[in-house]
């Protein structure tokens, strides 16, 4: 079974920064997250909003901060295991842990850091006839490969940044794009909505509001969508090849609640080393609790550094907890962490 020094559960800002510090200790890391992209709440909930309280950045867009975190950890080449949710965490009789995910795969590590935020993000699934049956048969909740929509008649559902951004991106690739939203106004960033309206006026795509999906039809694959005008009740049938549902995410603490961790109001209790009640299992970021806890990205970064360095010393007791200064040990030019030593 594939083994890394550390498994990090959750690819939000705390998890990405924890992976950076694991790399600074010349150790290997696997980051697991059920989302298709990294960034946690920043990617799922507010990619285009500016953040003003990251030390050293007077102002930075959430998606840019995520991009920077990915860039920062790149020299250490962590393994990203995306679209898999950690379901089970088991201490092994010999040293280390086994983490089993929603894919049924099991990954091993010497130490674990839980940076699961407010829980696992999953697409907000919609209920309408044919939707569950045709998932992955033309109906998707995320764009896996934009090229798959080349030349297709595409229906996009949603009113937030994700739906509007993808409508604008895919209109140049798809044969036809229709965007429906159940309200009359879009929640997306103002400038993007203006571009959307301009594209519709230029005949590059069609916007229908307030419309809802009533059914998706097709045997082997999506063939037709039935949509309803919420104002008039009028039903329309659209010939489509694909349906993209981009209506946001819901989060659930889910399986973490059953791992034997000491919890307080759905948060994991940690000590000053960010260690939980299970030796070798650390936590950082929004998921942790202790007296005086504040939930901010800046705080999560500090906790991630503490958790990662203690996890490193737990994984390899020969290592000191104190990492020294990065200015003395720059990431560049180091021999890359021996990925080949992993049986992945």
Which residues sit at the interface with ligand FAD, rule CB under 6 A? Answer: 9-15, 32-35, 40-42, 45-46, 51, 53, 85-86, 115-121, 254-256, 285-286, 295-298, 300
Burial of 157 (0-12, 13-18, 19+ CB in 10 A): buried
Supply φ then ψ for residue 48, to 5 degrees.
Answer: -95, 0
CB nearer ligand FAD, residue 51 or residue 305:
51
Q: Is 14 annotated as a binding residue?
A: yes
CB nearer ligand FAD, residue 12 or residue 123:
12
Q: Is 175 annotated as a binding residue?
A: no
Q: Is 121 annotated as a binding residue?
A: yes
245 and 157 in contact (C-beta within 8 Å)? yes
Least spacing, CB of residue 97 vs ligand FAD, in Å: 14
The position carrying tokens 């940076």 is 115
Q: What's the CA angle centered on 36, arms 50 and 44, to 5 degrees?
A: 30
Q: Is 211 annotated as a binding residue?
A: no
Among 118, 97, 71, 34, which residue's Cα sits nearest to residue 311? Answer: 97
Helix (H, G, I), strand (E, B) or coil at 229: strand
CB nearer ligand FAD, residue 150 or residue 250:
250
Supply φ then ψ for residue 214, to 5 degrees.
Answer: -105, -35
Token pair, residue 154, equals: 């595409």
Least spacing, CB of residue 308 vs ligand FAD, in Å: 13
What distances in angstroms separate CA 147 from CA 42, 171, 174, one per listed residue? 25, 12, 9
CB nearer ligand FAD, residue 34 or residue 138:
34
Cβ of 220: how many Cβ atoms within 10 Å? 8
Helix (H, G, I), strand (E, B) or coil at 336: coil
Least spacing, CB of residue 136 vs ligand FAD, in Å: 20
Q: Report the residue number whose CB is nearest to ligand FAD.
A: 117
Q: Is 33 annotated as a binding residue?
A: yes
CB nearer ligand FAD, residue 158 or residue 255:
255
Binding-site annotation, residues: 14, 33, 41, 46, 86, 121, 286, 327
Residue ranges for the binding site for FAD? 14, 33, 41, 46, 86, 121, 286, 327
């Amino acid at each position: 079974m594939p083994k890394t020094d550390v498994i990090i559960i959750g690819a939000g800002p705390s998890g990405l920064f924890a992976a950076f510090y694991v790399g600074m200790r010349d150790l290997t890391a696997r980051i697991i997250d059920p989302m298709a992209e990294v960034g946690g709440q920043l990617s799922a909930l507010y990619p285009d909003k500016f953040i003003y309280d990251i030390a050293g950045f007077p102002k930075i867009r959430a998606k840019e901060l995520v991009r920077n975190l990915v860039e920062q950890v790149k020299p250490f080449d962590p393994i990203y295991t995306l679209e898999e949710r950690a379901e089970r965490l088991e201490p092994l009789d010999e040293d280390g842990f086994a983490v089993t995910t929603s894919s049924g795969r099991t990954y091993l590590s010497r130490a674990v850091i839980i940076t699961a935020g407010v829980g696992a993000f999953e697409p907000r699934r919609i209920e309408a006839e044919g939707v569950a049956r045709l998932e992955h048969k033309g109906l998707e909740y995320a764009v896996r490969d934009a090229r798959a929509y080349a030349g297709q008649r595409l229906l996009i559902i949603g009113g937030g940044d994700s739906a509007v951004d993808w409508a604008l991106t895919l209109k140049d690739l798809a044969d036809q794009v229709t965007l429906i939203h159940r309200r009359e106004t879009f929640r997306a960033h103002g400038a993007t909505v203006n571009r959307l309206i301009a594209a519709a006026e230029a005949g590059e795509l069609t916007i229908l509001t307030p419309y809802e999906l009533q059914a998706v039809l097709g045997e082997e694959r999506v063939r037709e969508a039935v949509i309803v005008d919420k104002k008039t009740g009028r039903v329309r049938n659209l010939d489509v090849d694909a349906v993209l549902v981009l209506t946001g995410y819901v989060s659930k603490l889910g399986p973490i609640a059953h791992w034997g961790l000491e919890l307080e109001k759905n948060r994991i209790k940690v000590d000053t080393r960010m260690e939980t009640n299970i030796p070798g299992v650390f936590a950082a970021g929004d998921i942790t609790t202790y007296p005086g806890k504040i939930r901010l990205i800046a705080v999560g970064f500090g906790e991630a550094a503490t958790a990662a360095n203690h996890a490193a010393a737990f994984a390899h007791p020969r290592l000191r907890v104190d990492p020294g200064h990065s200015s003395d040990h720059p990431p560049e030019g180091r021999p890359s962490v021996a990925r080949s030593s992993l049986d992945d």
